[in-house]
C-alpha cells in the first residue's frame, strides 16, 4: 500500500509542484503588497479577517476558547469546502490555478495585523506564520495537483473523441492515484489545523 501511494504521488508530482509554486508566488505577492502598505491589499485583509471573525465557525470557536472544536471545524472546512471542490475543478486543468492564486494571495495579505503592523516582528511569530502556510500549502498542492493530473489524463485519454465531452471517460489509474493521494493529504490537513489552533506559538 505504501509503495502504491508513493508511486501515485510521484505521478502527480509535476502538477502538485506547479500548484505549490503558484501558492508561493501569490502569497509572496500578498506579503509584499501588505507590507508595502497597498490600500487595496490592506482593505481586502480587513474585510477577509472581519468576515472570518463574524461568520467562520472555526474562528468563532477559537475566540470562544474552544480550540479543539476550532481545529475540527477548520480541518473539515479545508478538506470538504476547499480541497475537494478545487480537486474536482482540476478536471478543467487550468481552473484551480485561479482559486489557488487567490487563496495564496489572501494567505499573504494576512501577514499584517489589524493595525497593519507586520506579524513577522519576532522569530516565534514569523516561524508560526510561515509554518501555518507551509502545512496548508503541502496538502492542498498534493490534492489539487492530483485533480489537475486527472484533468490532463482525461483529455489525453479521450483525444480522439474531440469535443464530445459526454463520451469522455476518466482512466481508472488516475482515480486510483487520486484516492492514494487523499490517503496522505487527509491526515496532513488535520496536522495543519492542529498546529494552527493548538500551537503555543499562536500569539
Distance CA 179, CA 64 (A): 36
Ranges of each domain in the chain: 2-198
pTM: 0.93
User: Which pLDDT tens digit goes with each residue over 128-184?
Assistant: 999 999 999 999 999 999 999 999 988 888 776 666 666 667 788 888 999 999 999
Mean pLDDT confidence for 87-111: 96
Q: How confident is the model at residue 2 (pLDDT cuts 50, 70, 90)?
A: confident
Q: For residue 148, give the nearest of 123, 126, 177 by alpha carbon.
A: 177
Strand partners, 112: 118
Amino acid at each position: 500500500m505504501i509503495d502504491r501511494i508513493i508511486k501515485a504521488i510521484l505521478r502527480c508530482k509535476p502538477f502538485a509542484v506547479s500548484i505549490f509554486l503558484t501558492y508561493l508566488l501569490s502569497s509572496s505577492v500578498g506579503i509584499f503588497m501588505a507590507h508595502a502598505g497597498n490600500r487595496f491589499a490592506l482593505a481586502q485583509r480587513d474585510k477577509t479577517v472581519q468576515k472570518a471573525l463574524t461568520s467562520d465557525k472555526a474562528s468563532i470557536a477559537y475566540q470562544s476558547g474552544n480550540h479543539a472544536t476550532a481545529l475540527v471545524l477548520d480541518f473539515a472546512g479545508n478538506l470538504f469546502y476547499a480541497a475537494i471542490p478545487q480537486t474536482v475543478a482540476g478536471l478543467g486543468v487550468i481552473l484551480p490555478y485561479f482559486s489557488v492564486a487567490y487563496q495564496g494571495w489572501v494567505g499573504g495579505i494576512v501577514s499584517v495585523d489589524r493595525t497593519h503592523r507586520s506579524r513577522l516582528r519576532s522569530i516565534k511569530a514569523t516561524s508560526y506564520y510561515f509554518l501555518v502556510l507551509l502545512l496548508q500549502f503541502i496538502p492542498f498542492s498534493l490534492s489539487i495537483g492530483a485533480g489537475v493530473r486527472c484533468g490532463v489524463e482525461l483529455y489525453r485519454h479521450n483525444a480522439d473523441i474531440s469535443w464530445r465531452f459526454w463520451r469522455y471517460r476518466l482512466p481508472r489509474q488516475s482515480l486510483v492515484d487520486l484516492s492514494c493521494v487523499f490517503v496522505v493529504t487527509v491526515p496532513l490537513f488535520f496536522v495543519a489545523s492542529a498546529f494552527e489552533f493548538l500551537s503555543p506559538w499562536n500569539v
